[in-house]
Amino acid sequence: MYRTIFLAVILLCIGSLWACEKEGICTEQGYTLKEYACFEATTARYVLQNADDLANFIDETACKLCDCMPPVVEIDFVTQTGLAVYTENCGNTLAVCRNDAAKQVTYTLTPKPIDCLVAVPDYNLIAVSKIPDDYTVEFVVE
């Protein structure tokens, strides 16, 4: 009796996992947070696939006072893609989720539930595993 119930539960769990995989549930991806200081705010979201994208990002966002000290951002564009979005708050929890079935990557920024004296501006620039050109990238700023 218990063996039958146990087998039924196991089959149900395996079926659920298979269904989730078929639906294309996204997989959380690792990322590397990149240093980026001396910038001005923009409302754009940035997907950096190559050195030209990075140069355009820096041109659009670097503050004019930093022209004599150009920012150094290292991203290996053979194996990585850069993602960036500006926020101004007390810090964020970052998450990247990749859904290969839907050809989509979602970059989610959730403000940390803490009080701070002054909001901190940040571009939340990260490097993730290379995103294919035919994928869409969604930025979710909560």
φ/ψ region of 83 (left if φ > 0, alpha if ψ in -120 to 50, else beta) reads: beta
Average pLDDT over residues 86-101: 93
Per-residue pLDDT of 53-75, as tens digits, reads: 999 998 898 887 765 566 678 99
HEC-encoded secondary structure of the chain: CHHHHHHHHHHHHHHHHHHHHHHCCCEEECCEECCCCCECCCCCEEEECCHHHHHHHHHHHECHHHHHCCCCCCCCCCCEEEEEECEEECCEEEEEEEECCCCEEEEEEEECCCCCCCCEEECCCEEEECCCCCCEEEEEEC
Q: What is the mean pLDDT of residues 41-58?
A: 94
If pLDDT is split at 50, 70 and 90, which confidence band does 38 have?
confident
What's the pLDDT at 114? 84
Q: Which of 28, 140, 60, 26 has the alpha carbon at shortest distance from 92?
A: 140
- β-bridge pairing 126-129 and 80-85: antiparallel
19-33, 77-91, 122-136, range with the lowest pLDDT: 19-33
Domain ranges in the chain?
A: 24-141
Q: What is the pTM of this model?
A: 0.78
- Higher-confidence residue of 118 and 18: namely 118
* Model pLDDT, residue 37: 77
Segment 14-36, tens digit of pLDDT: 343 333 343 458 899 899 888 88
